[in-house]
A and B are shown apart, each in its own frame.
Chain A
């Protein structure tokens, strides 16, 4: 999608000296600021709608007369708002800024990025509206109807081409490991989303092959976007905050390539013992288990950094967020592999435990890391301190508590649900009552997330407003000052 702008030439670093951070931040101000603003708005929205969806799991009569708010529509709406609203835009914003910083080149294509962001948001809004009005496609994570997806692609191309251009114009000799992950993520997403939409929705394959395409897409998105970005951001933030270098570039490369090789092969294990051919689910299992190795590599890479400078890292909110996020990611890798073992998956399949795993990756790993990165880069990009900086620590507490609560509640609830489902003598209605209290805790967790989202959004909005006011007020005062040139009444 976004590669044609790139000349295929040997990447000789631009001989000019790297641009100064201040110059780069200035070049990022409006495009990255806009992406941050939109992403944090969608985070808030996803939290609120997600809480509403979880409530509906235990309150069947709530808002039942409004078709828009039925569980089967707001659940996908909340999910897509997180994935495409927050996940994609926060990821793009962070990648734009970090690619510019790491390459030592100012951001170019500002106008195109702003236009792309507006396009993306327009596409997402009409798409979600359409899901709420019965237009969802019925394929998880590919729910948006075709017209909306096409708008999204246009928006994506307008945005994502530029970090790649910046990468190609880099003025530093060697590429920092984070950049590998960003380039890979920026490139994987359009390919995955296009192929997923084409084969599962637009020109669907026959029968269960649609489910195979959907599973491939979803897992690819999990690893290729959310996983890569989580790692890329953490590999930048932790050394940066602590001042301790990553111990090994080769280990980082090893982790990167192993994750790229194994990561995209998972997914079909969701349909274990279902109508997909058994070898597909087996491939999913093998890939997910093998993915543990790159996870270990990443863990080994980051551990010394965190270990030697715990104090420095934990004194900065972004450091705490990044540690919690990367920790969630590694935990996700381990749990996903454990979940593939047949005695475990026999119990967890189709239950809340699967939801817990997905939540650990999306809201835990990516969510925490990206929120931390937003707090880290917002003051630099917007050009002023966040007005409610004291809230950041609160957001950290809320968000980590919410992830822990959600994952533990749904994990335990899922095990109880699974054990019940596997016991044919237990009436279904009793199985169902067994997990309801845990769904209630999930609602609480999503509410905490929504409150946290509000803290971020308020900070970003207030900072942007203050900055805009600082830019506008002096000009207005100058124009309106008593001595300013006036338009005299003509005779």
Chain B
């Protein structure tokens, strides 16, 4: 090991081999994955986000929501995600085809958001969560994002703005101030409401209980890539999975 060039070449090979194996190989294997057509709706999945939600994704990235929130649901046999109601099925590679950047997240200081749009949140509640999460959960440590809102004094006599946040009873918000979401908050909430990875297609077997809504995917034997394209095609739904409404 006294030969500099040999040392170089050896290390180069190690780095390049891992790069080929972990990045380039998978790219050639499923980098050409395509959208799937959901027959019932005629729409392709994952569906495109509208402009506002796309801007919201930028707000999400810029404020680093992904340092506390994941956007990935593990199968019922691998974790309690589905039992917690964070999704009906596990997430697969195809769910993220349109995301740029993909913000899977590594930490769950807050709940998973992969299916937030499918949860029972009013728009106002989402604004409240961002403005001050303690208004909904007094013990929450979700950071406050007051800078996404404009806090302005109510003009005496003038009617309150229709866009102003509706605060829950008994919250300690000064009565003479109204809080209006700024453009970033509008976009962010549109993005949050667009978060849904619950479409059912051939890669993600639906839960066994409901007989309807299964096998409802066209294109299985036509233009879609074959099952064995290496993505997590295993049926991951366990019995605990909530019934498909």
**A256 vs B143: C-alpha distance in the bound complex, in angstroms?**
44
- B11-39 contact mask (Cβ, 8 Å, vs A): 1 or 0: 11011011101110011011111000000
Q: Is the CB of B84 within 8 A of A134?
A: no
Q: Say whether A482 faces chain B, with CB atoms less than 8 Å apart.
A: no
Q: A70-B63, A206-B31, A206-B97 are in contact. Are A421 and B80 (CB under 8 A)?
A: yes
Q: Say whether B152 faces chain A, with CB atoms less than 8 Å apart.
A: no
A228 to chain B, nearest CB (A): 9
Q: Which listed residue (B4, B10, B29, B72) contacts A275, Cβ 8 A?
A: B72
Q: Say whether B3 faces chain A, with CB atoms less than 8 Å apart.
A: yes
Q: Is the CB of B74 within 8 A of A273?
A: yes
Contacts of B195 in A (CB 8 A): none
Q: Which listed residue (B10, B78, B95, B103) contacts A138, Cβ 8 A?
A: B103
CB contact list, A195-252 vs B, under 8 A: 195, 199-201, 204-213, 215-216, 220, 224, 249
Interface size class of A (residues with CB under 8 A): 35 or more
Q: Is the CB of B134 within 8 A of A60?
A: yes
B contacts with A: majority SS: loop
A454 to chain B, nearest CB (A): 26
A contacts with B: majority SS: helix
Q: Is the CB of B231 within 8 A of A138?
A: no
Q: Which listed residue (B1, B11, B93, B141) contacts A207, Cβ 8 A?
A: B93
Q: Which listed residue (A249, A265, A275) contacts B91, Cβ 8 A?
A: A275
Q: Say whether B232 faces chain A, with CB atoms less than 8 Å apart.
A: yes
Q: Say whether B65 faces chain A, with CB atoms less than 8 Å apart.
A: yes
Contacts of A72 in B (CB 8 A): 63-68, 143
Q: Say whether B107 faces chain A, with CB atoms less than 8 Å apart.
A: yes
B133 to chain A, nearest CB (A): 7
* B92 nearest in chain A by CB position: A275
Contacts of B109 in A (CB 8 A): 57, 432
- Give me 10 A-to-B residue pairs in the complex whose CB atoms sit less than 8 angstroms apart, sorted by A's number: A3-B8, A71-B68, A184-B7, A204-B100, A204-B101, A207-B102, A208-B96, A220-B18, A261-B14, A432-B139
The interface of chain A, by Cβ under 8 A from chain B, is: 3, 6, 8, 10-11, 56-61, 64-67, 70-73, 75-76, 134-140, 167-168, 173-175, 177, 180, 183-184, 187-188, 191-192, 195, 199-201, 204-213, 215-216, 220, 224, 249, 253, 256-257, 260-261, 263-265, 267-268, 270-280, 283, 346, 349-351, 354-355, 417, 421-424, 428-429, 432-433, 436
